[in-house]
Amino acid sequence: GRLFYACDAPRAERCSFFKWMEEVNPAQIKRFRPSVVLHDVKSIGAYLQNQKIFVFDGCQLFVRYSEMAYIFHGKGYEIGTQCSKLKKLMNVHAESDGDSKSKLYLKLSRKEHYSLFSKDDIWVVSKTLNFDSLDTFIASSAFFGPTHNNEVELLPLKGYYPSNWHSHTSVHALLVCNASGELISLRNMEEYFNPSTLPLIPYLLKKNPDSEKSTRRINKRKFIPPAMSLVHKKTYGSVSTEVAMGLAEKMVLTFSLNPDQATSLIHIARMMTSHENMQPVKEHQIFPITIIHGVFGAGKSYLLSVVILFLVQLFESSEAKEGPELAPWKLLIASSTNVAVDRILLCLLELGFEDFIRVGSIRKIAKAILPYSLHAGSGNENEQLKELLALMKEDLAPAEKMYVRKSIERHKLGTNKTALQQVKVVGVTCAACPFPCLDTLKFPVVVLDECSQMTEPTSLLPIARFQCEKLVLVGDPKQLPPTIQGSESTHDKGLEQTLFDRLCLMGHKTILLRTQYRCHPAISAIANELFYEGNLIDGVSEEERSPLLDWLPTLCFYSVSGLEQIERDNSFYNMAEVHFTVKLIQSLIASGIDGSAVGVITFYKSQMYKIQNLLRSVHSEAFPVKAVQVSTVDAFQGAEKEIIVLSCVRTRQTGFTDAEKRMNVALTRAKRHLLIVGNLACLSKNRLYERVINHCKGRENGLQHVSQCEQQLNDILKYYLEEKKEEEQSKKKEK
């Protein structure tokens, strides 16, 4: 649907000239609105494929019966004596067996590269290209790709009625997306989620009676929680209020917790001492869920590691008092990402606590955690050992090799396998919760980190699977929500609404960790004004975040007069910003900054790839830029760097780059320097960007046009290269 210019000479004489119309004249695009009317199946199919919509027209749908069904029918044939009765009998069997023993196969009309396909792909199959609902069904793929006959086995999800679909039906099929994560969540929920036996279910469904907000928001939905008759017998030792509160106050002082962190710990202590009999929830009863809203850089991982130390001591005191006859208290640390789980465990190691097991896959666990891990997700034990030995051969730092060596020793002895049953603390991602090694375990206390980034089914898996009775939720709903494939802004009451969001909507109070320890106060001031209603407190001073270089501003908007361009996958890039960003990074390296201290983030994958490619091409001994991390804003959530360069890309309109949650993440990754590269004329028209730019203008050298500062960067690079040349020459003379 996009217009372009190309050579109009006869094919044999045609040159390779090609340009999109908007590259030549952006104004033209508004005047020309090409519309194409396509009638025949082939043309419609070709057009859809050109739009990156994977449609397979003219396919065949086969219905086949399993071998068992054929044998069964065959026996019926042998035993039957009257032919007419036999035919009727076989027809009845065929119909009754069709649902359970028939298999669907879609024979594709053309071959595609195997990388296009995967298990749990969503297919829409229809008899017409209009995809009329009566003649259409939705299915998922059973395996990772087509067979050698180019057939895909389908598992119907919706709209499939055997009587409407006979074998050898001619159909059209759309390959929509991969829904592996969603389908796995559904299967896990079916297997592990039993509302009638889950201790927390009344609390997860009941609104807070003390909150006006919840009554106002929830009553409109006319939701009545199901009646619960949970009979809860005492399984774990009771926790003394006096012991819990005394220990909490002691730990507040020992670990220098700030007032909000102290409030969180004391709330968790109270939660642990409440004794429920799990009858219908009483008014003003202590809620067995603690919800912590931690802003960027608020020390969430540090707080959680202190909370875990507190709970372990509490468990030990309870068991010493009650004796061994009751089940032991255990605590599960869970999150949607490996990085989040490992961050808490690394913090525990720093505090001197090693009595935990991390369950997961070898390649995804932080090296320092490997000695304390059980690799339950990567095949049999021999394969796991081979993978660890293969790690030893890779280019690792000495400390990393030591961790892998220690992990190999423990693996051979089976130490961690035994320890899993005994330790009080286990760390796991939500996706790894169904691993068989966890089948016999129960975790009455679950800590869910980054809960505002998980879909509710993902959050519920560790809660339901391990019979959770006390829950700690941690997240920041002001930052990016879960990524839902194909989601629209209109779906905000669908999977995008997290468990964290829903409990807040139902009026349950959160504890806000207001103090941020990451950003220079000038950088945090932007997010504080734009997203946090002025509630933030700076835990670091300007002196503690002093500039790394005299010439580098703390906060700066670099105005670049580039042009946004669009790739075929609808991702934008801006080559002027790419070149300036790389020159800026080279200047930082030339000034003595280590590449690992620099992060480059952008809103578009295409821009990320362009920057990565250009950095790769300039990488040399003089410019070791390999350690510079280049990422999209979404992928960088949770990370931080001393210097962040943000490339905004857009020059005509802001697109989705001004979404508040995405902007919040982008503006809060930098510790000392936030350098924004963008088009001043375009971005100033946007309400959010205008306020960001005004903050920059208020700082010394906070707004710079590339034409003005490029000479300074050129001088830095020239001086640096001259020094390098002199060094090389002096080395040659010494030889």
In a shared domain, residues 549 and 621:
yes
Range of the domain at 551: 544-721
Total residue count of the chain as it appears in this document: 735
Are 500 and 609 part of one and the same domain?
Answer: no
In this structure, what token pair is assigned to residue 541?
């001073």
Do both 469 and 609 map to the same domain? no
Is 686 in contact with 541 (CB distance < 8 Å)? no
User: What is d(CA 464, CA 201) in angstroms, rounded to the nearest whole number?
Assistant: 9
Give the torsion through C-alpha atoms of 679, 685, 686, 689, to 10 deg.
50
Phi-psi region of 700 (alpha: psi -120 to 50; beta: other; left: phi over 0): beta
On whether residue 93 sits in a domain, the answer given is no
Asked whether residue 574 falls in the same domain as residue 634, the answer is yes
The domain total for the chain is 3
- Whether 668 and 637 have beta carbons less than 8 Å apart is answered as no
Cα-based angle 397, 400, 405 (whole degrees, multiple of 5)? 125
Token couple for 117: 């396909």
Task: Classify residue 502: in a domain, yes or no.
Answer: yes
Asked if 445 and 308 sit in the same domain, the reply is yes
Alpha helices in 51-165 (DSSP H): 67-79, 83-101
- Given 125, 152, 186, the domain boundary residue is 186
Question: What is the model's pLDDT at position 83?
Answer: 38
Residue 681 shares a structural domain with residue 610? yes
| pLDDT of res. 26 | 62
Task: Please check whether residue 268 lies inside any domain of the structure.
Answer: no
Residue 77 — very low, low, confident or very high, per pLDDT cuts 50/70/90? very low
Residue 99 has pLDDT above 50, yes or no: no
Beta bridge partners of 533: none
Instruction: Kindly give, in sequence order, each residue whose CB lies less than 8 Å from that of residue 232, ignoring residues fewer than 6 positions away.
Output: 199, 276, 277, 278
Give the contacts of 433 (CB within 8 A, at least 6 positions apart): 188, 334, 461, 462, 465, 466
Chain-centre distance for alpha carbon 731: 49
Strand partners, 553: none
Highest mean pLDDT among 4-13, 342-351, 612-621: 342-351
> pLDDT tens across 206-238, in order?
777 666 555 555 555 555 555 555 555 667 878
> Are residue 507 and residue 578 in the same domain, yes or no?
no
Spatial distance between the Cα atoms of 689 and 680, rounded to a whole number of angstroms? 9
Is residue 649 within 8 Å of 603, Cβ to Cβ? yes
Whole-number CA gyration radius for the chain: 30
Q: How confident is the model at residue 52 (pLDDT cuts 50, 70, 90)?
A: confident
Which one is predicted more confidently, 481 or 293? 293
Determine the distance from the C-alpha atom of residue 559 to the mean position of all C-alpha atoms in its chain, rounded to a whole number. 32
Q: For residues 108 and 16, state if they share a domain.
A: yes
Under DSSP, is residue 672 helix (H, G, I), strand (E, B) or coil?
Answer: strand
Cα 117-121-127 angle, rounded to 5 deg: 100
d(CA 617, CA 289): 52
Question: How confident is the model at residue 405, as a pLDDT?
Answer: 83
pLDDT score recorded for residue 48: 73
DSSP assignment of 658-684 equals G-HHHHHHHHTSEEEEEEEEE-HHHHT
Burial zone of 581 (CB within 10 Å; 0-12 exposed, 13-18 middle, 19+ buried): buried
User: At 72, is the pLDDT very low, low, confident or very high (cuts 50, 70, 90)?
Assistant: very low
CA distance 603 to 654: 11
d(CA 445, CA 290): 11
Is 276 a member of any domain?
no
Using the 3D structure, point to which of 153, 186, 219 is the last residue of a domain.
186
| Mean pLDDT of the residues in the chain | 84
The pLDDT of residue 28 is: 54
Give yes or no: residues 37 and 128 share one domain: yes
Per-residue DSSP letter, 395 = -
Answer yes or no: is 452 within a domain.
yes
Cα gap 508→215, rounded to integer Å: 11
373-374 and 54-65 as β-strands: parallel, antiparallel, unpaired?
unpaired
pLDDT over 70 for what percent of the chain? 84
What are the pLDDT digits (tens) for 310-364?
A: 999 999 988 877 766 788 899 999 999 999 999 999 999 999 999 999 998 888 8
pLDDT of residue 93: 36
Q: Are 54 and 177 in contact (CB under 8 A)?
A: no
Q: Are residues 585 and 661 in the same domain?
A: yes
**Inter-CA distances, 545 with 521, 596, 645, 675, 696, Å:** 8, 17, 17, 15, 17
- The mean pLDDT value for 148-176 works out to 92
End-to-end CA distance of the chain: 65
| Element (DSSP H or E) covering residue 58 | strand 54-65
Within-domain flag for 347: yes
Between 734 and 108, the more confident residue is 108
Return the axis-axis angle of helices 398-413 and 381-392, rounded to nearest 10°. Answer: 160
Question: Is the model's pLDDT at 622 over the cut of 80?
Answer: yes
Nearest to 540 by CA among 559, 558, 515, 561: 515
User: Does an H or E element contain 689, and which?
Assistant: helix 687-697
Residues 553 and 468 in one domain: no
For residue 109, the domain's CATH number is 2.40.30.170
Give a yes or no: residue 305 inside a domain.
Answer: yes
Same domain, 714 and 671: yes
Strand partners, 172: 126
DSSP string, 635-655: HHTT--EEEEEEE---SS--G
Q: What percent of the chain has pLDDT above 90? A: 50
| Structure tokens, 465 | 């699977």
Q: Is 412 helix (H, G, I), strand (E, B) or coil?
A: helix
Query: What amino acid occupies position 468?
Result: C
- Reported as a pLDDT band with limits 50, 70 and 90, residue 189 is confident
CA distance 448 to 454: 10
The SS3 of residue 123 is strand
Is 577 part of a structural domain of the chain?
Answer: yes
Reported pTM: 0.80
Q: What is the DSSP string of 577-608?
A: HHHHHHHHHHHHHHTT--GGGEEEEES-HHHH
**Distance, CA of 416 to CA of 404 (rounded, Å):** 14
Are 644 and 601 spatial neighbours (Cβ–Cβ below 8 Å)? yes
Residue that has been written with the tokens 């510079």 in this structure? 628
Last residue of a domain, one of 155, 186, 217: 186
- Residue 374's domain is classified under what CATH number? 3.40.50.300
